[in-house]
Amino acid sequence: MRLSPAFLSAADRDRVHRESLRILAEVGVRFHGERALPLLERAGARVDATSGVARIPAGLVADALAAAPRSFVLGARNPDHDFAVPSPVTRYAIDGTASFVTDFETGERRYGVTRDIVDALRVFQAIDVGVMAWAPTCASDAPAPARAVHEFLEMAAACSKHGQHELHSVAQVPYLEAGLAAIAGGEDALRARHPYSLIYCPVAPLTHDGEMLDAYIALGRLDLPVMIMPMPVAGSTGPASLFANVCVANAEVLSSIVVYELAHPGRPLVYSSATGTMDFRTGAFLGGSAEMGLMSGALTEMGRHYGLPSSCAGCTSDAREPGAQAVFEKLATTLPPVLAGADIVVGLGEIEGDQNLVLEQLLVDAEIARACERIVRGVDADVDEALFADIAEVGPGGHFLAQRTTRSAARGDEFLVPSLAPRVSHEAWLELGRPSMYATARDQVRAILEAPVVDPLPAAAREEVDRILAAADREIAADT
């Protein structure tokens, strides 16, 4: 029986919705930029042009929720990796846009570059539970005005799974459109298959970035799905109450859904979240706290409450280095949303509050993910009658090693067999050189990077991407 705890009761979910509607109607949300406020005002929202605050009535929210698709397919450059949402099982996305990387060869903590995006996505390509690529670090070697375009297109070229990333300005839009069309095989393929999507984070509390939102509205003509990921931090950019912070995050998601569905009715959207907490001793952001896991579980349930595909951040850690703290915190922030039924948990591969990419961590996190999946599958009570016959045959004091059912179970999925954790005797472990999860993961990363590239981008498409990026470097810089 699948484990199915409730992080919010049905009454709690109704209350979150009511409180969110009250926030939207009475407090309002500030929209920067040029496109959102006219859409909202024409639809009946009360807009203060001076402050940029829109107060959104409940009817607009209801209409937007009704317009958003309940299911769709997140396509991929290789159709074998297409992922339909909602999904009966939780799958994973690599974490995105970390500032730093732990260099695989030297161990140096340094700023990320384009090569790190490519290497990380080659590792992610090999992870069976991974379905959504993201540029896992910033490309500090790319020109700042075009950097997001570089990150997006290099991610799409390096991995043939579904990819998501972000844009920062309207000026970047035409270059991303051209690059994704070159990779996907044309604009019609982008619209039809949804191989790439956008991740959108409102600015907590209750604010929308103008350039990013305007760019995303413009990209609606290609029907690019949007994962809406609010990030209020309880105690700083959100209220110091888990429930109240959930309400703020939910209000930010609903305000985003209203704008996107007003601009392009029927646009695919994913309800997501990436909340955190504050260390009240230092003021530091905490992404690896148990409370973060609880809020992720609750907000996953809110996405389900609205009938939308539901995602969240998870598998997060504040550890300064790979090791026991990272594994503990990542388990604590992964299990709750998996129990809540998240379609996608976003967070593989990073530590330090999502700011440091570690290639070995990608494979360790996949191990954590598989363990969570096995826990959530629960105890299957639909056992074959032959098991009672085995019990009767073995009787008191015997053993089951020779039974057919034991051999069958050893080859099935009743028992999880980890790929990184050594399960050998102490003597055998010493003979193997005292391997750890991270050491084994490191060996596997090296083997992946030394192997041939999987699903390489065709040469003609790569040449076109390079031409588009060179134009973006020249022209966006000239315009800004």
Summarize pLDDT for 286-298 with one digit per residue, the tens. Answer: 999 999 999 999 9
pLDDT digits (tens, 9 = 90+) for 336-350: 999 999 999 999 999
Query: For residue range 55-92, what is the model confidence (pLDDT) as tens digits?
Result: 999 999 999 999 999 999 999 999 999 999 999 999 99
- Asked if residue 311 lies in contact with residue 345, where contact means CB atoms within 8 angstroms, the answer is yes
Q: Band of the pLDDT at 386, cuts 50, 70, 90?
A: low
Q: Give the model's confidence band at 200: pLDDT under 50 very low, under 70 low, under 90 confident, else very high.
A: very high
Does residue 414 or residue 111 have the better pLDDT?
111
Q: Which residues pair with 72 in a beta bridge?
A: 85
The single residue listed with the structure tokens 């998501």 is 164
| DSSP SS3 for 141 | coil
Q: Which of 368, 361, 319 is nearest to 445 (CA)?
A: 361
Helices 173-184/459-479 angle, 10° precision: 180
Per-residue pLDDT at 95 exceeds 60 = yes
Q: How far apart are CA 480 and CA 464, in angstroms?
A: 24
Determine the average pLDDT of the residues in 24-49.
Answer: 97
* Paired strand residues for 162: 132
Residues 112-149 pLDDT 10s: 999 999 999 999 999 999 999 999 999 999 999 999 99
DSSP 63-101: HHHHHS-S-EEE--SSGGG-EEES-SS-EEEE---BSEE
pLDDT of residue 478: 61
- Average the pLDDT over 24-46 and give the result: 98
In the chain the first and final C-alpha atoms are separated, in Å, by 57
Residue 419 DSSP code: S
| Superfamily per CATH, domain 64-377 | Trimethylamine methyltransferase-like (3.20.20.480)
For residue 179, is pLDDT > 60?
Answer: yes
pLDDT at 4: 76
Q: Phi, psi at residue 106, to the nearest 5°?
A: -100, -20
CA atoms of 355 and 353, how far apart (whole Å):
6
pLDDT at 230 over 70: yes
**Predicted pLDDT of residue 166:** 97
Q: Is the pLDDT of residue 480 over 60?
A: no
Can you read off the two tokens belonging to residue 267? 């646009």
Q: Which two tokens stand for residue 34?
A: 């040029």
pLDDT digit string (tens) for 325-375? 999 999 999 999 999 999 999 999 999 999 999 999 999 999 999 999 999
Identify which of 236, 328, 252, 323 has the alpha carbon closest to the alpha carbon of residue 289: 328
Bin 381: left if φ > 0, else alpha if -120 < ψ < 50, else beta.
Answer: alpha
User: What pLDDT shows up at residue 160?
Assistant: 98
Whole-angstrom Cα distance, residue 54 to residue 51? 9
For residue 205, say if its preceding peptide bond is cis, omega within 30 degrees of 0: yes
Please give the Cα distance from 273 to 337 (Å, whole number). 11
Tokens 């996190």 locate to: 365
What per-residue confidence (pLDDT) applies to 426?
A: 93
Average pLDDT over the chain, rounded to whole? 95
List the domain boundaries for the chain. Answer: 64-377
Q: Which one, of 46, 53, 55, 45, lies nearest residue 24 by Cα?
A: 55
Average pLDDT over residues 400-429: 89
